[in-house]
Amino acid sequence: MPHTNRRKKHVVAKRIEIQDDDGWIRVTTTNTNGARRRPRMLQPHTDHDSSQIYKTGPEPGSTVSKIRAHYEKIDSLWKASEAYRALVDTLKSQVLQAEITDGSIDKCIVFGTASFCGLRDGWIKSADTALCQLAVLKTIQSTIGETLGQMPQAMAQEPAYNDLDIEFLRTLDVEVAETPQGFEQVTQKSLVYTPCSEGHVLRQVLEGKPAILLGKSVDWYARESRDMQPVRAEKEPMQANGQDGDNRRDKHDLRDGNDIFKTYRRGSNAVRLPDFAYRDRHPFRDEYLYWKLQFDNA
């Protein structure tokens, strides 16, 4: 058996950050011999555990006026998009014409936008995505106000907001709800926007039985739940252009204890909206608009 006193060559691990189309960062390491370790995914804006999300100071040089100017730029691009037109048209022609409330929507609440100016070691700067999602919230608020004749209150819950974020939101008349108080504000007169929330966040939202929900596919959350079983095939929600969806998709049902997604989905209409991209991000992608089939007096 050969022996040697030669010291083993030190292997240098290189840190690689891979950004996907949705703005998520996956961090992995590659050794000099080409072997790659299993990637670790960082979530730029998650509400999973507010105790693990720390408020950070704003990026150096940030001011309310600069954030507002950036917001106005993104808002103008958003309002020129197909996604904006589809959202407004669907709200006016279908959602707000349905008998889903007693005549009013009093709150529009967004959960989990991330900071508009904060930075944190190892985190992606997510201001572009956050500002676009804020523009979506303000679009919803103004559309409801114009259609129903009563302007709803706009609210935002995000544990990572810093003082500058809050000051900026006040310039747009958006109230900040301390986590988890925002969940308590959700009622049958609410519209809730959950752009990229985890399942347990959406579950808390749905417990409030919101009249209208904008977010990722509720069926997707159902499929991703741990306790699930396949059931009969069912049509996809219709598209924003009125066309039927693909009826070849298998829908999934949930067992007892995880059926809140199923219950909400079965009692709601749904439309998938077009995507909106900004630079190399997709802040509005795979978004569905849900509204109740009828107002629940219970």
For each of the chain's 298 residues, which pLDDT tens digit applies? 555 555 555 444 544 444 444 444 444 444 445 454 444 333 333 334 444 555 778 888 999 999 999 999 999 999 999 999 999 999 999 999 876 666 689 999 999 999 999 875 545 568 999 999 999 999 999 999 999 999 999 999 999 999 999 999 999 999 999 989 999 999 999 999 999 888 889 999 999 999 999 999 998 888 876 444 443 334 456 566 555 554 433 343 334 335 899 899 999 999 999 999 998 788 999 999 999 987 665 4
Relative to beta strand 281-284, strand 276-278 is antiparallel
Looking at the structure, tell me whether residues 29 and 137 fall in a common domain: no
204 and 114 in a common domain: yes
pTM: 0.73
For residues 149 and 83, membership in a common domain is answered with: yes
54 assigned to some structural domain:
yes
The confidence score (pLDDT) of residue 228 equals 43
Instruction: Give the DSSP letter of residue 141.
Output: H
Integer-rounded Cα Rg, in Å, for the chain is 22
Tell me, what amino acid is at 99?
E
Task: Say how many domains are in the chain.
Answer: 2
Contacts of 47 (CB under 8 A, 6+ apart): 53, 111, 112, 157, 158, 159, 179, 197, 198, 201
**258 and 281 share one domain:** yes
Same domain? For 144 and 197 the reply is yes
Q: Tell me, yes or no, whether 77 lies in a domain.
A: yes
Identify whether 5 is part of a domain. Answer: no
Name beta bridge partners: 192: 109, 213
For residue 171, tell me if it sits in a domain: yes
Asked if residue 138 and residue 37 are part of one domain, the reply reads no
Q: Is the residue at 172 inside a domain?
A: yes
Residue 297 domain flag = no
HSE at residue 199, side-chain half, CA atoms within 13 A, is 15
- The answer to the question of residue 279 being in a domain is yes
* Same domain, yes or no: 31 and 110: no
Please indicate, yes or no, whether residues 99 and 20 belong to a single structural domain of this protein: no
137 and 38 co-located in one domain: no
Pure H helices in 156-217: 163-171, 181-184, 199-207
Q: Do 209 and 179 share a structural domain?
A: yes
What is the residue range of 19's domain?
13-42
- 112 with 210, same domain: the answer is yes
Neighbours of 106 (CB within 10 A): 16
The answer to whether residue 66 sits within a structural domain is yes
* Shared domain check, 145 and 19: no
- Exposure letters 255-280 (e unless 16+ CB within 10 A, then b): eeebebbbebbeebbbbbbbebebee
